[in-house]
Amino acid sequence: MKTTLLSLFCLIAVSAMAGNYEVSSPNGKVKVVVNTDEAVKWSVSYNGQTVLQPSVIDIQLRQGKKAFGLGQVGKVAKHRVESSFRNPFYKKAEISDAYGQLLMYTNQKFTIEVRAYDDGAAYRLISTNTKPSLVVNETAEFCFADDYQAFVPYVNDNRGGERYCYSFESYYDEAPLSKMFCDSLAITPLAVCLPAGMKAIVMDAGVENYPGMFVKEAKSGEVKSEKLVAEFAPYPLEQEIGGYDRLNLVPTKRADYIAKLDGRQSLPWRAVVITERDADILNCDMAQRLAPACRIADTSWIHPGKVAWDWWNNCNITGVDFASGMNTNTYLYYIDFAAKNKIEYVIIDEGWSGKESLMEDLNPEIDLPRVIAHGKENGVGIILWSSWRNLIGSNPLNDIKVTDEVMKHYADMGIKGFKVDFFDRDDQQVIASAYKIAESAARYHLYLDYHGLKPFGIQRAYPNIFNFEGVKGLENSKWEPRVGDGPLHNQPRYDVTAPYLRMLAGPMDYTPGAMMNAMKDNFFGNNGHPMSQGTRVHQMAMYTTFEAPLQMMADSPTKYMQNQECTDFIAQIPTTFDETVALDGQLGEYIVIARRKGTTWYVAAMTDWTPRDLTISLDFIGEGTHSADIFADGVNAQKDATDYKHSTQTVTSNDRLNLHLSSGGGWTAIIR
């Protein structure tokens, strides 16, 4: 990392002095004002337009019988910082981190750090108190000037009926802020549509040893204004095995506080991303900037890639002389398929291990040493599924002994990592556990794919964590019900909403790649033989659009071999990139994006159920003559979603391409 501190000056040095303190972004568009007259409040504007009205920042703590809060602000320092850092496991190789900064010191041993970026603003509280304390609550408000339209992902499908035990997967309710369900929690990122096409996206970032942030609607008491307030899962005191298929640890008793602080600690960031142009959200680095720096000294062993996956396609392979399923022959076959198509990994999902252990009662139908050896011989790594509670020994506060034992055992056998499923919580215990697991995995050079969690910053600290679920991905098509003349949920609209919002927080394990594709009139949920909503090329475009250093190929080897032309194209697309260019897009409607790896460009476009004609400039590809390998929706794709057209053409940076996207369609190209 390189950092330049351009200016430093003390604004005020008198304890308990009230007033307004301002800081602006490097380009001057974003301005944050912190007022300390009665309570500490921050407000944010963009080009003079109000984004957040004064919103309270506070915290309530307890040390024994002593209760205290944030305290009064004394000294305030103002900086301008220009910084950058590299990340080879991201959508771009180098990330700029330039901002205006306020540091405000209180008489209760807290520092309030405020940053103004060109594309948003953020603050966090830093405790410098060396004594242990309990965080009873934290007050974080986001007050908007009017009853704006919002995209809200609500908490639903709670595990065991517990309010804060949830998979972090939700479709988006689109309604004015005033219509938010007052008894419901929402997860972040959450988008608010400001005037003139601007967006404000509320999120948290850099969460460590602290619960994640939910938000809910609360009337502000001011005319027309609407307020979102934070809520946090209280600290778990007791828990039991339960939830879906008894795979979870569900809290049965929670404390009257949300976190334990053992001493000095930085709390998570509360942020709002601001954009004039929706497409720019696709290239925003706020989550990366606010995350902890990488903690793995040598990352040379970390190799992202694609993975052949068994669960979505139900191990449906045909034309073989053995019964397919959770058995040795099936996984040898998956490995051969992966090797032939230069796919780096194979996942063995749920069913290889015992229900209550990763070390005992293993499936006798799978000769794991033989499978691992065959993978090694063919250059294909094996990743194993695990529930979170089995990996930690059903004890979130464990000393990592159980986790280390499992990690070492399977690393010695030669596996490459674990897909860890059913966290389904983000209270302080679970967040701490996620860090412990990542540290243990890094010790043994193992990769991780976290399910039942949204990304919260740990992925930069531990880049051996490739993916997070927390997304309504392709698996939902297996049980999607029909209502009237089509599916209940508008999946293509979600597909062009989640990249702007859910993906803003970090990579998402959507698991794309369906080769059975359907329009609304002929789609139906089928667990054993699943299909996708939208066109074949809509699925293919996901490999460039969706960020996932470990990107799934969800369909079966049989389906991919029957569609080898599409498979050959997908297999060429990297899972991390050197540069990203957001070309065009509208939240919930369509996306056009380009990513570069080395000298090759990967371009993709996706739409909702609305057909679209788009034009893109190729001015980003550089000088000279290039060859474009293109997949587009076929002329009959609206009748048969599998229809596509494959072509090649010569292009230059002076060219403009006309794209036609069918209903639920897509377009994608590799330009060399």
Task: Provide the annotated active-site residues.
Answer: 421, 475
Distance in angstroms (rounded) separating the CA atoms of residues 32 and 45: 7
Show the DSSP H helices in 172-218 as ranges: none
What single letter denotes the amino acid at residue 323? A
CB 639, CB 519: distance < 8 Å: yes
Number of C-beta neighbours around residue 3 at 10 A: 11
Task: Say which residues have a Cβ less than 8 Å from residue 195's Cβ, sequence separation at least 6.
Answer: 49
Distance CA 570, CA 572 (A): 5
Residue type, 445: H
Q: What is the number of other CB atoms lying within 10 angstroms of the CB of residue 76? A: 22
Rg (CA), the chain: 25
What is the biggest distance separating any 2 CA atoms in the chain, rounded to whole angstroms?
82
Q: How do beta strands 94-106 and 110-117 pair? A: antiparallel
**Please, what is the Cα angle at 44 between 55 and 142, to 5 degrees?**
35
Give the 3-state DSSP-derived string for 114-181, with helices as H, strands as E and coil as C: EEEECCEEEEEEEECCCCCEEEEEEEEEEEECCCCEEEEEECCCCHHHCCCCCCCCCCEEEEEHHHCC
SS3 call for 274: strand
Separation CA 305–CA 331 (nearest Å): 18
Residue 141 structure tokens:
């408000």
Residue corresponding to tokens 């979102």: 228
Q: What angle do CA 128, 4, 100 make, to 5 degrees?
A: 65
Q: In whole angstroms, give the CA distance from residue 319 to residue 558.
A: 8
The count of other CB atoms within 10 Å of the CB of residue 672 is 12
Q: With 0-12 CB in 10 A as exposed, 13-18 as middle and 19+ as buried, what is 14?
A: exposed
Distance of CA 542 to the CA centre of its chain: 15
| Ramachandran region, residue 347 (left: φ > 0; alpha: ψ -120 to 50; beta: rest) | beta
